[in-house]
Amino acid sequence: MNSTSFNRLMLGNHRRTKRQFFLINVKKMTMKSANIIVKQDYYVIISMSKRRIRIPLIKIKEIRIGQMTDSWIEFVTKLKNKSNKSNYDHKMIKLLDDKNLQSFSLIIKRDDHPLLCYSWDFCTGNIDLFKQLIMTEMQEKINELNHLNSFETHQEMLEFLYRKYLLKEGKDVKHMFCKQTKTVNDEENIIVTDYHRLQRRFQKFLHNLNLTLDRRYFQIIMEMNDQLKLKNKFDLFDLINQFDCRPYFNFLFNKYSIHGDDDRISREGLIHFLIEEQHESPDELELDELMEKFGEKIQEQHYITRRGFYYLMESPKWCELFDYDQKKVCQDMTRPMTDYFIASSHNTYLSGDQLLSPSSYEMYRQILLTGCRCIEIDLWDDVGENGQGTTRPVIYHGYTLTKKIELQGVLETINSVAFEKSDYPLIISIENRCKQQENHRRIAHLMRTIFNDRLYLEPVPDDCRQFPSPEQMRGKIFIKCSKNRSINEHFLSGTDFDARLPLGIMDIYVMSNDNRRNHMTQIQHLNYSKRQRHEPMVIIKNDVEEDDESYLHRSYRLPIIRVRQTKFMNRRVISNIDNFNAYDDDDDDDDDNDDEVCGAESIALKRSSDHHWDESFSSCINYFETRKFYSIKKCLEEFKINHMISRDERKSLEINFDEYRQFTKNHMVRVYPSGWRQNSSNYNPLDHWNCGAQLVALNYQRSTLPMFMNNALFSLNGQCGYVLKPNHLRHDYPNNLSNLHPPLIKLRIKILCGQFWNTFHNMFECQKVRLKIITRVYCGDNRTYRQPTDTTSNGFNPIWNETFEFLIDQPELTFIHFTLTNHDNFFAHYLISFKAMRKGYRFVPLYDKNYRLIRFTKLFLHIDY
């Protein structure tokens, strides 16, 4: 379909413009004509018939090709599932099925959510226009703007400040500071007039930096610099550096410069500095790169000048606290998967709290792009308006008001980014609440069709004694779920359990400890044909022994339910019960509703420990088969290598500590938040990592301290989602308790100073600041240290020079947290794993409460241990 027929199909006689796109509207289920105009001042205009939207290009996170956003997936699904389609609907379906159609979305950053984004979703039939305007013109401007606003070095930061506050973007110097200019050469403009205006502007600039200077001191600096006369851009940089006092930079520079007083460092001096102070060992090639990047050529040789040394001290590769080697995969990935901590998400589909927040396809995309390797899907039968189940499995948080989303859309989203951030195995934890066999087959079919060869379907060998390694299973997707352990065709076959029981369709026999002998005799004399075997059901009260329950099921294959609440158990047939719920706490404790209370007219029941999935679904489960937990001793004795348990945060810590550690050496354990965390808060993952639990699932929806720890741990090893456990938690480590207590490590942290702590985006609500740094150390043995600095009112370059010492015993599970407070209120922070810390003079970037980087704001430290 060419551009002309495309426009005619959608617009009829509507006036067409040169740049024509179509914007989808999910609420109204329409496609509106729109224009996209890229402005020279870094804005994009979306123009419709009665509305114009102006979006700063800096707010555009990405241009996403295809129908890959929540809006697109919902729009296409609603359109194709619509029962009464109009002619306009059929036109849109025909259009969307056209192979020449180009769909794309502008992804807009959100300030209120760390992961989610807004999207403007378009399509066009003009491929040439799309390539020229969107993929060339707009993408180039976004890249240019990102480059202008992203900087890692001191020089790049000064460039940004100069553009933003001493110049206006897109204007020449003559429009800002002076009425005329004189050009000395082709490369440099020199200011010759309007010095007072520039001086006032510079003084306001320093005020915006939260640097309060004595008027006399400011005047002395101005006189030293001849009242800002004849200042080019680089002279202004030197002037700003005069106010940026970092005495330890000068101390180090003088220490390693030639003869201690010359204003340059030789190649040999640089080597001594990197080895003695930074504990780095650069090779010759890296030294050549350093001298070329930060040095200047003097007398046919490269030397590091004072300005170049300043830039070197802010180079991420050589002076950031985070170990640069950890930015790539650097650990042994050939060990069994049980020897790794694996980044795991709980209720991945939710975008907020656990009760009301909408479910989102985008959450799967964004969480996978953080390096997460275990995500969760909750599957339910879709119930229509008449209460009849359909053949459509949906994803949502059961018994809540969360929004339902389509399984197919979720699987397609997962498949599109499954191995973009990390190509190591992905685990999908499925909580299957679907009761219809057709839905089980539908789930299996979708997974096999969409994932194709990525889905690992090989059965576990009978002689398997340990898990495969992440390296062996690169690019594979595993399904974690409970599996059929006794497949009985009669067990609730083809029935909707929740619908049948309240209507009294089944004969129900109540059995209690009081008269269990009579009931056992009665049940033993029942004669049912195979065709009728699915009809009777035995309900057992809590006081009946488990031996009787297993005897009935083993001997008579009767569906058995154990009762939690027995208020209505005085009848032979239960009927007219309105809010009936059957909680499936089967084998894995994965039901997050364990702690929820049923309504006054409801009965909470628990099914027996045997599922009946369709074989097509059950065959997808191999290495991550969840089993019922009775006791850790029984699990150690009976579990095969591929059997695992799933426990909530409280029940997990009730297990004997030593036996728990022993179990996790060869078996997988998943821990998830308790059901009472309805606001998507999180527990402390450190307690469970210390026990060896591999899959410690957290609510990625909330940016709180547990998630900061999770980010710090899984930022190691190239952010691939797999981090080796400490030696004493691995499968081949001898059970020698004396080895669990290595010598303590003395960590010494010196808080030196901060730099440029005002980003000009209302970083501080008041100009009079009271800043301090609080250093916390979280150790694996549950010890916590807290050390605050003194308070300072300098918001530009605060200086502390305070030293703290800490004793740590488990470096792999120790985290250091630096928190910046203003007037004792949290403002910014940085949390890092001890294993990622480098010795020497280092800087750390600071992040806000949503874990977004605060640009060019740094804290300088000295680390030793």
**CA 531, CA 490: separation in Å to the nearest integer?**
8
Residue 219's pLDDT is what? 65
The identity of residue 390, as a single letter, is T
* CB distance 109 to 61 below 8 Å: yes
Segment 393-414 shows an average pLDDT of: 92
Residue 10's pLDDT is what? 43
- CATH class (in words) of the domain with range 3-149: mainly beta
pLDDT digit string (tens) for 120-139? 999 988 888 888 888 888 88
pLDDT digit string (tens) for 684-726? 999 999 999 999 999 999 889 999 999 999 999 999 999 999 9
In terms of pLDDT, which residue wins out, 191 or 291?
291
pLDDT digit string (tens) for 85-96? 889 988 888 888
**CA 277, CA 281: separation in Å to the nearest integer?**
11
Residue by residue, DSSP assigns 391-445 as EEEEES-TTS-PPPEEHHHHHHHHHHHTTTS--S-EEEEEEE----HHHHHHHHH
**CA 112, CA 703: separation in Å to the nearest integer?**
11
Residue 33's pLDDT is what? 87
**Architecture of domain 741-864 in this structure:** Sandwich (2.60)
Nearest Cα neighbor of 131 from 53, 9, 44, 19 is 19
Segment 736-742 shows an average pLDDT of: 59
| CB contact set of 188 (below 8 Å; sequence gap of 6+) | 232, 233
Residue 508's pLDDT is what? 41
> Residue 258 to residues 292, 355, 636, 730: CA-CA distances in angstroms?
18, 67, 66, 51
Residue 410's pLDDT is what? 96
**CA 524, CA 120: separation in Å to the nearest integer?**
66
- CATH class (in words) of the domain with range 247-319: mainly alpha
Highest-confidence segment of 40-49, 711-720, 734-743:
711-720
Highest-confidence segment of 184-198, 495-509, 649-663:
649-663
Residue by residue, DSSP assigns 607-625 as E-S-----HHHHTTEEEEE
Residue 848's pLDDT is what? 86
Give the position of tokens 């002279």. Answer: 235
Segment 511-520 shows an average pLDDT of: 49
Q: Residue 751 forms beta bridges with which residues?
A: 802, 861
Residue 603's pLDDT is what? 31
Mean pLDDT across the chain, nearest whole number? Answer: 76
In terms of pLDDT, which residue wins out, 20 or 549?
20
Residue 169's pLDDT is what? 36
Residue 792's pLDDT is what? 87
* CB distance 774 to 819 below 8 Å: yes
- Does residue 763 surpass a pLDDT of 80? no
pLDDT digit string (tens) for 350-373? 999 998 899 999 999 999 999 999
Angle between helices 233-243 and 154-161 (to 10 degrees): 110
* CB distance 559 to 491 below 8 Å: yes
Residue 843's pLDDT is what? 92
Q: Return the structure tokens found at 370.
A: 């953080």
pLDDT digit string (tens) for 440-499? 999 999 999 999 999 999 999 988 889 999 999 999 999 999 886 433 333 333 333 333
What are the extents of the domains in the chain? Answer: 3-149, 154-243, 247-319, 337-483+614-729, 497-607, 741-864
Indicate the range of 147-161, 328-342, 431-445 predicted with least confidence: 147-161
Q: Return the structure tokens found at 362.
A: 């985008």
Segment 133-148 shows an average pLDDT of: 78
378: how many CB neighbours lie within 10 A of its CB?
A: 23
Q: Return the structure tokens found at 735.
A: 């059970």
Q: Write out the H or E segment, with its range, that includes residue 87.
A: helix 87-96
pLDDT band at 781 (very low <50, low <70, confident <90, very high): confident
Q: Residue 560 forms beta bridges with which residues?
A: 538
Indicate the range of 47-51, 71-75, 699-703 predicted with least confidence: 47-51
Segment 515-529 shows an average pLDDT of: 49
Residue 163's pLDDT is what? 61
Task: Tell me which CATH code domain 337-483+614-729 carries.
Answer: 3.20.20.190
The identity of residue 159, as a single letter, is E
Backbone phi, then psi, for 281, in 5-degree steps? Answer: -130, 80
Residue 70's pLDDT is what? 92
Residue by residue, DSSP assigns 621-683 as EEEEEE---S-HHHHHHH--TTEEEEEEHHHHHTS-HHHHHHHHTTS-EEEE--TT-TT----
Indicate the range of 66-80, 608-622, 705-719, 848-862 predicted with least confidence: 608-622
Residues in the chain: 865
In terms of pLDDT, which residue wins out, 315 or 723?
723
**CA 177, CA 535: separation in Å to the nearest integer?**
90
- Does residue 511 surpass a pLDDT of 70? no
Residue by residue, DSSP assigns 732-764 as TS---GGGG-PPPEEEEEEEEEEE----SSS-S
Segment 741-758 shows an average pLDDT of: 83
Residue 824's pLDDT is what? 87
Give the position of tokens 């509507």. Answer: 14
Residue 660's pLDDT is what? 92
pLDDT digit string (tens) for 164-220? 555 543 343 333 334 334 444 444 444 444 556 666 666 666 666 666 566 666 666
Give the position of tokens 């114009």. Answer: 52
% of the chain exceeding 70 in pLDDT: 67
